[in-house]
Chains A and B, each alone.
Chain A
Amino acid sequence: MKPLLNQRELEKRKGLGSGRKARFSGFSLSLGGSGAVAYLFLLPSLIFLTVFTLWPIVSAILTSFHARRGRNQVFVGLQNYERVFSDPLSQQVIKNTAAYVTAGLILSVIGGLLLAILMNQGLRNIGFFRFPFLATIGLPMVSVASIWLFLYSPRVGLFNELLGSVGLPRSNWLSNPDLALSGLFVVYIWKQIGYFALFYLAALQSLPGDVLEAATLDGVTFWQKLRHIIWPLVSPTTYFVSTIAVLNSLQQVDHVFVLTQGGPNNASNLALYYVYEQGFKWFNTGVAAAMTVVLLAVLLTMAMLQFVFLERRVHYN
């Protein structure tokens, strides 16, 4: 009997290393040569990931090759993609979205950084100045948009009242095709800029004070400091912020609902709102799925580009 026990003891001691048996708080499991236990513990997340992420992606891709005829889905090949790329409406939506995302990216980075520098001044009661910018982060987009709806209102809105009081012509902000998209964008950036500034603020506060102090003593101007010291040192944050900014601006749709519903004449229609209209208002599920797949592809490509190019230039301490 003794040799046998020793044999077992030996195996136990080999434990995880041998990959055949593992010991978890008092009980052991047979492993069959691979990380079965690991998979067991991963299973709950895997199930959720499959059901709520992987399957919808596969399903969207499948749906994008079909069109609804009454209750049935008919295979139509690439027809939906053709529509997404050649239809004047979707072209306008893509154009709107591209402009929106580009402006969002640039303003989130530059505006966020400048705002953070302002908020990082060693003023007394700085919290008082920080609060209004950071408070907008916590507000729901729907409430923000509802407030701005009044600000933009052509008759009683704040902007027109101000313009009128100094004798400037009033404007119908959201029903002007040239202004509607910018109107949405201003609301978005007003709400989100504090969020991006917060990341920069954290980065600025961890900057090496001695370097900046030395620069100041050497008579370096603010812009030189910004260009040659701060900007390179916060580049990891810039990388992070630019990724989040792109995702964020593509995801916001609440204010489109509240303020313009994509109008007038689709001047402020954005990709996600287009997907909603096609998919859930008119039940053109195929077109909605095709646009979704295109969006997904764009996002993946952008994430990869940012990873490959920006990552290399990012300076990590």
Chain B
Amino acid sequence: MLKKYAVLALVLLLCVTLFGGGALAQEPITLQFYYPVGVAGPLAQAIDGYVAEFNALNEDIQVEPIFTGGYSENMARATAAILSGQPPDVAILLGIDIYTLIQLEGIIPLDDYIASEEGLDIDDFFEAFMANNIADDQVWSIPWQRSTPILYYNKDAFAEVGLDPDTPPANWDELVEFGKQLVVQDGDNVTRWGVEVPTSFWIFANFAIQAGRHIGSLGDDPCGVYLDTPEAIEALAFLRRLQEEGVMPDGAVAWGTAPADFIAGASAMIYHSTGSLSTLLANSPFEVGTAFMPAGEAGYGANVGGGNYYIMKDIDKERQDAAWEFIRWMVRPEQIGQWGIDSGYVAPRAAAWEVDPLMSYAEDVPQASTARFQLEYAVKEFPATYGGQEIQVITTQAIEAVNTGELSPEDALAVAQERANDVLTQNGCELE
């Protein structure tokens, strides 16, 4: 009798252990997912919505989205987390931060995942959007919120001053000429500017490319910064000229101010990320035109931008696997196409444009394709270097110094180059 009970007890114990073990195995992996929002609009809701959908579809993987502010706050938080040994599992970070992240030993290359059975057709992604993702012949990130700047213009304002609303300025001289016509003055007070170019390294780089030479490296070189070239000086002098001709307001133009001014009718044209497209279309009380950025001496030119998915290094293999599954789900053609519609970012893979919802959207909203076609002239984003976060600020400060009339383009860019060289040297670059 006693023996029988003992056996029963043992069986019970075994059941409990097995069951308990089983329950443990079913505990889902919870991924921490850092993401920034770099443009105007309710994009955080969109991302939280996609994640909720993913979580509902997956029992074994749950993603916890963590909004981390703008791009630089996001990178600061990720860097702090990596240095403390407690990184998130997956994060959207700027494409240009690749070398900094590799230097921090914070991320893993994704080639094995891409080539695996549960892989990704990486050749489907646009070449310009892969330029910032490759180092040492390895792919380190998957494109997500990718963009180029484009020219937004107020078609109603064009019609009002007798310009053809379907003919945006094609080159720098036309930009000045159209801009002058679009300015509206009330006494000494300008109530509508011709154009606003945000004071930003990312916008400035395009002008340098249009003038004939990029300020960043085009290849796999974490030490390439070319700020004091004649082309860069010409580009910055042109930005100053826009102010001297009374087309653009004096002083610096904040990144967030330009779209707000455009919507309010206080500026007839702005340079901004294509990621702001949806917000501008939805909120402007006039017809919004989009165009390639006007060409300089060397023709059209753009540098790409935006954020990619990275998988972190100091986490378990199974978490990395789960992160890959999440990324793969997010960049499905339908999903990343939807994201393009919700935000205005350029869906970075060809397949997304050949299926709905993006296919019919692109037919209805021709503005959505401008940046995609501009990709033909697009190159790698600046500054994809060591210490890139600091070099971003250094470059923007040079533009500020010129736009506020403090320094000449030559002097400002010479100082910036010197400071950038310091940062590069501190990070182990050997410069001639």
A136 contacts B by Cβ under 8 Å: no
Q: Mark contacts of B31-47 with chain A using CB atoms, 8 A cut-off: 1 yes-contact digit, 0 otherwise.
A: 00000000000000000
Inside 8 A of A155's CB, which chain B residues have their CB?
A: 266
Interfacial residues of chain A within 165-215, with CB under 8 A of chain B in the complex:
169-170, 172, 175-177
Chain-A contact segment, one of B145-153, B247-255, B341-349, B371-379: B247-255
Complex Cα spacing A172 to B426, Å: 36
Across the interface, do A176 and B397 meet the contact criterion of CB distance under 8 Å? no
Across the interface, do B252 and A175 meet the contact criterion of CB distance under 8 Å? yes
Complex Cα spacing A263 to B401, Å: 9
Across the interface, do B80 and A172 meet the contact criterion of CB distance under 8 Å? no
A2 contacts B by Cβ under 8 Å: no
Q: Among B72, B252, B387, which residue has the most Cβ atoms of chain A within 10 A? A: B252
Complex Cα spacing A283 to B81, Å: 12
Across the interface, do A172 and B249 meet the contact criterion of CB distance under 8 Å? yes
Contacts known (A70-B103, A70-B104, A155-B266); A164 close to B189, Cβ less than 8 A: yes
Quote the shortest CB–CB distance from B385 to chain A (angstroms). Answer: 13
B184 contacts A by Cβ under 8 Å: no
Complex Cα spacing A277 to B389, Å: 10
Quote the shortest CB–CB distance from A129 to chain B (angstroms). Answer: 36
A89 contacts B by Cβ under 8 Å: yes
Cβ-closest chain A residue relative to B72: A281
Across the interface, do B251 and A170 meet the contact criterion of CB distance under 8 Å? no
Complex Cα spacing A154 to B267, Å: 14
Across the interface, do B401 and A89 meet the contact criterion of CB distance under 8 Å? no
Contacts known (A69-B428, A264-B400); A282 close to B390, Cβ less than 8 A: yes
Across the interface, do A265 and B401 meet the contact criterion of CB distance under 8 Å? yes
Complex Cα spacing A284 to B76, Å: 12
Contacts known (A70-B103, A172-B249); A283 close to B266, Cβ less than 8 A: no
Query: B76, B105, B404, B422: which contacts A264 (Cβ < 8 A)?
Result: B404
Q: Mark contacts of A76-107 with chain B using CB atoms, 8 A cut-off: 1 yes-contact digit, 0 otherwise.
A: 00000000000111000000000000000000
Quote the shortest CB–CB distance from B413 to chain A (angstroms). Answer: 12
Complex Cα spacing A155 to B249, Å: 11
Inside 8 A of A71's CB, which chain B residues have their CB?
A: 82-83, 104-105
* Size class of the contact patch on chain B: 20 to 34
B419 contacts A by Cβ under 8 Å: yes
Inside 8 A of B419's CB, which chain A residues have their CB?
A: 88-89
Across the interface, do B397 and A265 meet the contact criterion of CB distance under 8 Å? yes
Quote the shortest CB–CB distance from B26 to chain A (angstroms). Answer: 35
Cβ-closest chain B residue relative to A280: B76
Query: A69, A175, A277: which contacts B251 (Cβ < 8 A)?
Result: A175
Query: B105, B249, B266, B406: which contacts A265 (Cβ < 8 A)?
Result: B406
Q: Mark contacts of B16-55 with chain A using CB atoms, 8 A cut-off: 1 yes-contact digit, 0 otherwise.
A: 0000000000000000000000000000000000000000
Quote the shortest CB–CB distance from B251 to chain A (angstroms). Answer: 4
Q: Mark contacts of B250-271 with chain A using CB atoms, 8 A cut-off: 1 yes-contact digit, 0 otherwise.
A: 1110000000000000100000
Contacts known (A69-B428, A281-B389); A263 close to B252, Cβ less than 8 A: yes
Cβ-closest chain B residue relative to A155: B266
Across the interface, do A170 and B189 meet the contact criterion of CB distance under 8 Å? yes
Q: Mark contacts of A52-92 with chain B using CB atoms, 8 A cut-off: 1 yes-contact digit, 0 otherwise.
A: 00000000000000010111000000000000000111000
Across the interface, do B251 and A176 meet the contact criterion of CB distance under 8 Å? yes
Q: What are 6 A-B pairs with beta-carbon distances under 8 A?
A: A67-B426, A87-B422, A263-B397, A264-B397, A264-B403, A283-B79
List chain A positions with a Cβ less than 8 A from chain B. Answer: 67, 69-71, 87-89, 154-155, 164, 169-170, 172, 175-177, 263-267, 277, 280-284
Per CB-CB distance, the 9 closest pairs between chain A and chain B, nearest first, are A175-B251, A264-B400, A172-B251, A265-B401, A265-B400, A175-B252, A265-B397, A282-B390, A70-B103
Known: A71-B104, A88-B419, A283-B80. 5 other contacts (CB 8 A): A176-B404, A263-B400, A264-B251, A264-B406, A280-B76
